[in-house]
Structure 1
């Protein structure tokens, strides 16, 4: 039976929602998903569409969501629909909604800047070299099981999160003299979350297309889409 994927994209153009999601649509089609693309989260309010959706791939930074759409999204995931996203397209979506934050389990808070002597005009101020390290769980999880720790040069997300998440990879924010915090902070980079019968997978790197094309990041997202998809029984199964 062919599976159904709903791609929801939009919000802030700086995260290239169209180009970013277009990277992954061929993968879905190669794995025999019927793909539907929507430019607004309002589709989540359509009960008929959501009941037939096995996987949601969301790339919608900031923006807003209506009460009806959010209720539809939460209900669909609780019933077994999977949700996958990256960077601000999932971890900085719908800032007007605490219920959405509870659903995904993590909210972008900051991307700390480089050393003052390295500051320049533009977004490069927040591009840092940092390590992504897999947790013990990550070394055995289907999304990340055979991958090695790796380094990125891009935005390093500081994430507010809770312990319902199953963290597969982390990064550490140091405490240099030019920042006001006094000890290193560990943030999740990749996590999963069980919500009712549904699975959620979040990957925080993905500010630009070149980051999404990083072999390890792309592998994690593609595996995450397969892992999160509703199973034939109607449940996404175990965490």
Structure 2
């Protein structure tokens, strides 16, 4: 049986515990044995190098050097890494090795607004059958790695910042880190957004893609 580790915590505004419970249910339904932890010390455990998948849900906060070093080595060695919104894309702001591995880092958003998610790779199995769709949440403006394989984007207007008018920003991507697969979706500010079928389907497929 494939093993997955979910590590949750950090800023409570993103409802990390609720999100972790939802993700655990998804993974268990998909045949994973799931370990749930709520401290970053879990990342330092040498045993995580034998896992199939790691899901961080830990907005902001700090991570110790030995923790991020062991996590990076695990992914580089083949363990999958997958996550969503600030739980993965705005975690451990001071840890550049972590951001390098993820392929992006949040920098701003205009609050909860209505925006469009444009599917750019309908041929990819993660996005199969999903058309571009409207979404209401935080529209993430991120610094992103140009080597990411982008599966969906969103376009910013000048309403909140004139200098980003027309900027096309990745929303969903996948990438490689060593021999490990990395998947990220910026959707999912709070747990209620899992009720949006496109959001939950994309994330669930992405986690399964990333898992070895």
Task: Write the distance in 2 (CA, Å) between the matches of 1:36 and 1:194.
Answer: 24
Structure 2 runs not aligned, ≥5 long: none
Report which of the two structures shows the higher radius of gyration computed on alpha carbons.
1
Structure 1 runs not aligned, ≥5 long: 113-125, 231-239
Number of aligned residues: 212
Q: TM-score, normalised to structure 1's length?
A: 0.86
Q: Root-mean-square deviation (CA), in Å?
A: 1.2
Match of 1:39 in 2: 38
Q: CA deviation at 1:182?
A: 5.7
Task: Write the distance in 2 (CA, Å) between the matches of 1:194 and 1:134.
Answer: 20
Task: Write the distance in 2 (CA, Å) between the matches of 1:160 and 1:52.
Answer: 31
Deviations 1:175-219 (A, max 9, x none): 23x634163211111001100110111010111122122100000
The DSSP-based 3-state class of the residue aligned with 1:103 is helix
Task: Write the distance in 2 (CA, Å) between the matches of 1:208 and 1:31.
Answer: 22
Task: Write the distance in 2 (CA, Å) between the matches of 1:220 and 1:9.
Answer: 20
Match of 2:118 in 1: 133
Greater helix fraction, Structure 1 or Structure 2? 2
Which deviates the most, 20-29 or 101-110? 20-29
Task: Write the distance in 1 (CA, Å) between the matches of 2:161 and 2:26.
Answer: 41
CA contact (8 A) 2:84 2:184 kept: yes
Q: TM-score, normalised to structure 2's length?
A: 0.96
The DSSP-based 3-state class of the residue aligned with 2:163 is coil
Match of 1:214 in 2: 196
Of the three residues 156, 161, 186, the one matched with 2:168 is 186
Task: Write the distance in 1 (CA, Å) between the matches of 2:193 and 2:26.
Answer: 17
Is residue 2:24 matched to residue 1:25?
yes
